[in-house]
Amino acid sequence: MAGKEIEKLIKAVAKLPALGTRSARRIVLQLLKKRDTQLLPLIEALQDVADNIKTCPICGNFDTEEPCSICTSSSRDGKTLCVVQDVADLWAMERVGFYKGKYHVLGGVLSALEGVTPEDLNLASLPQRIANEQIEEVILALPATVDGQITTHYILSKIKDSGVKVTTLAQGIPVGAELDYMDDGTIQLALSSRKNL
Protein backbone atom coordinates (compact mmCIF):
# COMPACT_ATOMS: atom_id res chain seq x y z
CA MET A 1 0.00 0.00 0.00
CA ALA A 2 2.71 2.48 0.93
CA GLY A 3 5.76 2.52 -1.36
CA LYS A 4 8.46 -0.11 -0.83
CA GLU A 5 10.83 2.53 0.61
CA ILE A 6 8.26 3.32 3.31
CA GLU A 7 7.57 -0.36 3.99
CA LYS A 8 11.30 -1.01 4.35
CA LEU A 9 11.66 1.88 6.77
CA ILE A 10 8.66 0.72 8.82
CA LYS A 11 10.29 -2.73 9.10
CA ALA A 12 13.63 -1.23 10.18
CA VAL A 13 11.94 0.95 12.82
CA ALA A 14 9.77 -1.95 14.05
CA LYS A 15 12.95 -3.89 14.93
CA LEU A 16 13.92 -1.33 17.59
CA PRO A 17 13.25 -2.31 21.21
CA ALA A 18 9.69 -1.80 22.50
CA LEU A 19 8.36 -0.90 19.04
CA GLY A 20 6.01 -2.93 16.87
CA THR A 21 4.65 -2.46 13.35
CA ARG A 22 1.84 -0.20 14.52
CA SER A 23 4.03 2.25 16.43
CA ALA A 24 6.67 2.07 13.68
CA ARG A 25 4.01 3.12 11.16
CA ARG A 26 3.06 6.10 13.34
CA ILE A 27 6.70 7.12 13.71
CA VAL A 28 7.40 6.88 9.98
CA LEU A 29 4.28 8.87 9.21
CA GLN A 30 5.34 11.64 11.58
CA LEU A 31 8.83 11.65 10.05
CA LEU A 32 7.32 11.98 6.57
CA LYS A 33 5.14 14.86 7.72
CA LYS A 34 7.99 16.63 9.51
CA ARG A 35 10.67 16.04 6.92
CA ASP A 36 12.76 19.12 7.64
CA THR A 37 12.33 19.36 11.41
CA GLN A 38 12.52 15.65 12.28
CA LEU A 39 13.46 13.29 9.42
CA LEU A 40 16.58 15.09 8.21
CA PRO A 41 17.91 15.96 11.72
CA LEU A 42 17.38 12.32 12.75
CA ILE A 43 19.34 11.03 9.75
CA GLU A 44 22.13 13.49 10.55
CA ALA A 45 22.22 12.48 14.23
CA LEU A 46 22.30 8.77 13.33
CA GLN A 47 25.01 9.30 10.74
CA ASP A 48 27.03 11.33 13.26
CA VAL A 49 26.84 8.49 15.76
CA ALA A 50 27.65 5.87 13.14
CA ASP A 51 30.68 7.87 11.99
CA ASN A 52 32.06 8.97 15.33
CA ILE A 53 31.13 6.60 18.14
CA LYS A 54 33.49 3.72 18.81
CA THR A 55 33.57 0.95 21.40
CA CYS A 56 36.37 1.52 23.89
CA PRO A 57 38.84 -1.41 23.51
CA ILE A 58 39.67 -1.23 27.22
CA CYS A 59 36.37 -0.95 29.07
CA GLY A 60 33.66 -1.44 26.41
CA ASN A 61 32.12 2.03 26.81
CA PHE A 62 30.85 3.96 23.76
CA ASP A 63 32.70 7.20 23.03
CA THR A 64 34.12 9.37 20.25
CA GLU A 65 37.60 8.70 21.57
CA GLU A 66 39.42 5.39 21.60
CA PRO A 67 40.19 4.57 24.45
CA CYS A 68 37.19 6.36 25.96
CA SER A 69 37.37 9.58 27.98
CA ILE A 70 36.74 7.71 31.26
CA CYS A 71 39.64 5.28 30.66
CA THR A 72 42.03 8.11 29.75
CA SER A 73 40.85 10.52 32.46
CA SER A 74 43.56 11.38 34.95
CA SER A 75 41.06 12.78 37.48
CA ARG A 76 39.40 9.41 38.03
CA ASP A 77 40.50 6.78 40.50
CA GLY A 78 42.34 4.22 38.38
CA LYS A 79 42.55 1.69 41.21
CA THR A 80 38.83 0.94 41.37
CA LEU A 81 36.98 -0.95 38.66
CA CYS A 82 33.18 -1.18 38.46
CA VAL A 83 31.95 -4.15 36.43
CA VAL A 84 28.56 -3.45 34.79
CA GLN A 85 26.31 -5.40 32.47
CA ASP A 86 25.80 -2.75 29.84
CA VAL A 87 26.70 0.78 28.76
CA ALA A 88 23.21 1.80 29.96
CA ASP A 89 24.29 0.85 33.50
CA LEU A 90 27.50 2.85 33.09
CA TRP A 91 25.36 5.83 32.04
CA ALA A 92 23.14 5.33 35.08
CA MET A 93 26.20 5.32 37.38
CA GLU A 94 27.55 8.45 35.67
CA ARG A 95 24.18 10.23 36.01
CA VAL A 96 24.45 9.76 39.76
CA GLY A 97 27.99 11.13 39.61
CA PHE A 98 29.01 9.52 42.91
CA TYR A 99 31.39 6.90 41.55
CA LYS A 100 34.82 8.19 40.54
CA GLY A 101 36.59 5.01 39.48
CA LYS A 102 36.76 3.31 36.10
CA TYR A 103 34.50 0.73 34.43
CA HIS A 104 34.46 -2.63 32.77
CA VAL A 105 31.40 -3.26 30.58
CA LEU A 106 30.56 -6.96 30.10
CA GLY A 107 28.02 -6.49 27.31
CA GLY A 108 25.55 -8.86 29.01
CA VAL A 109 25.39 -11.49 31.74
CA LEU A 110 25.77 -15.26 31.62
CA SER A 111 22.50 -16.94 30.76
CA ALA A 112 21.83 -20.64 30.36
CA LEU A 113 18.40 -19.84 28.89
CA GLU A 114 19.69 -17.46 26.25
CA GLY A 115 22.90 -19.41 25.68
CA VAL A 116 25.25 -16.63 26.79
CA THR A 117 28.63 -18.16 27.71
CA PRO A 118 31.72 -16.45 29.21
CA GLU A 119 33.17 -16.25 25.68
CA ASP A 120 30.26 -14.02 24.59
CA LEU A 121 31.10 -11.43 27.24
CA ASN A 122 33.94 -8.95 27.61
CA LEU A 123 35.39 -11.11 30.40
CA ALA A 124 38.69 -12.53 29.19
CA SER A 125 40.53 -9.22 29.58
CA LEU A 126 39.33 -8.58 33.14
CA PRO A 127 41.96 -10.59 35.11
CA GLN A 128 44.64 -9.05 32.91
CA ARG A 129 43.31 -5.51 33.53
CA ILE A 130 43.33 -6.16 37.27
CA ALA A 131 46.98 -7.19 37.09
CA ASN A 132 48.18 -4.58 34.57
CA GLU A 133 46.39 -1.60 36.09
CA GLN A 134 47.14 -2.74 39.67
CA ILE A 135 43.45 -2.55 40.55
CA GLU A 136 42.75 -2.54 44.29
CA GLU A 137 38.97 -2.98 44.32
CA VAL A 138 36.54 -4.54 41.85
CA ILE A 139 32.87 -3.58 42.39
CA LEU A 140 30.58 -6.12 40.78
CA ALA A 141 27.50 -3.98 39.96
CA LEU A 142 25.57 -6.60 38.03
CA PRO A 143 21.76 -6.91 38.04
CA ALA A 144 20.10 -8.42 41.11
CA THR A 145 18.63 -11.20 38.95
CA VAL A 146 19.47 -14.91 38.93
CA ASP A 147 21.63 -14.53 35.81
CA GLY A 148 23.28 -11.44 37.29
CA GLN A 149 24.11 -13.24 40.52
CA ILE A 150 25.45 -16.27 38.68
CA THR A 151 27.69 -13.96 36.66
CA THR A 152 28.84 -12.23 39.86
CA HIS A 153 29.88 -15.58 41.35
CA TYR A 154 31.53 -16.69 38.11
CA ILE A 155 33.64 -13.53 37.98
CA LEU A 156 34.46 -13.84 41.68
CA SER A 157 35.79 -17.39 41.09
CA LYS A 158 37.98 -16.09 38.25
CA ILE A 159 39.53 -13.13 40.06
CA LYS A 160 39.64 -14.00 43.76
CA ASP A 161 43.08 -15.65 43.40
CA SER A 162 44.56 -12.31 42.34
CA GLY A 163 43.98 -11.08 45.88
CA VAL A 164 42.02 -8.02 44.72
CA LYS A 165 39.23 -6.75 47.01
CA VAL A 166 35.88 -7.69 45.45
CA THR A 167 32.65 -5.96 46.53
CA THR A 168 29.09 -5.82 45.27
CA LEU A 169 26.26 -3.29 45.56
CA ALA A 170 24.21 -3.44 48.77
CA GLN A 171 20.79 -5.01 48.41
CA GLY A 172 17.76 -3.95 50.43
CA ILE A 173 14.80 -1.59 50.46
CA PRO A 174 15.18 1.13 47.79
CA VAL A 175 14.98 4.79 48.88
CA GLY A 176 11.38 6.03 49.06
CA ALA A 177 9.84 2.57 48.99
CA GLU A 178 7.07 1.42 51.32
CA LEU A 179 7.43 -2.01 52.93
CA ASP A 180 3.89 -2.87 51.92
CA TYR A 181 4.83 -2.75 48.25
CA MET A 182 8.13 -4.65 48.45
CA ASP A 183 8.42 -8.29 47.44
CA ASP A 184 9.04 -10.93 50.12
CA GLY A 185 12.58 -11.68 48.96
CA THR A 186 13.69 -8.07 49.33
CA ILE A 187 12.16 -7.73 52.81
CA GLN A 188 13.80 -10.95 53.96
CA LEU A 189 17.15 -9.85 52.55
CA ALA A 190 16.90 -6.38 54.06
CA LEU A 191 16.06 -7.93 57.42
CA SER A 192 18.89 -10.44 57.43
CA SER A 193 21.37 -7.71 56.36
CA ARG A 194 20.06 -5.21 58.97
CA LYS A 195 22.52 -2.64 60.26
CA ASN A 196 23.24 -1.22 63.71
CA LEU A 197 22.22 2.41 64.20
Contact positions vs a second copy (CB under 8 A): 1-3, 5-6, 8-9, 11-13, 15-19, 23, 25-33, 35, 38-43, 45-50, 52-53, 62-64, 86-88, 91, 94-95, 107
Work out how close the CB of 11 gets to a second copy at its nearest, in angstroms, rounded to a whole number: 8
- Residue 32: HSE in the Cβ half-sphere, 13 Å Cα cutoff: 13
Which residue, 50 or 170, has its beta carbon nearer to a second copy? 50
Contacts of 150 (CB under 8 A, 6+ apart): 109, 110
Which residue, 18 or 197, has its beta carbon nearer to a second copy? 18
Least Cα distance to 8 among 31, 25, 26, 30 occurs for 25
| Burial category of 5 from C-beta neighbours within 10 Å (exposed 0-12, middle 13-18, buried 19 and up) | exposed
Which residue, 50 or 175, has its beta carbon nearer to a second copy? 50
Which residue, 25 or 158, has its beta carbon nearer to a second copy? 25
Work out how close the CB of 165 gets to a second copy at its nearest, in angstroms, rounded to a whole number: 26
> What are the counts of helices (DSSP H) followed by strands (DSSP E) for the chain?
8, 6
Task: Determine how β-strand 102-105 pairs with β-strand 80-84.
Answer: parallel
Which stretches within 35-86 are classed as H helix?
40-52, 69-72
Work out how close the CB of 16 gets to a second copy at its nearest, in angstroms, rounded to a whole number: 5
Which residue, 96 or 170, has its beta carbon nearer to a second copy? 96
Work out how close the CB of 174 gets to a second copy at its nearest, in angstroms, rounded to a whole number: 17
Given a contact cutoff of 8 angstroms between Cβ atoms, the answer to whether 106 and 84 are in contact is yes
Work out how close the CB of 192 gets to a second copy at its nearest, in angstroms, rounded to a whole number: 33
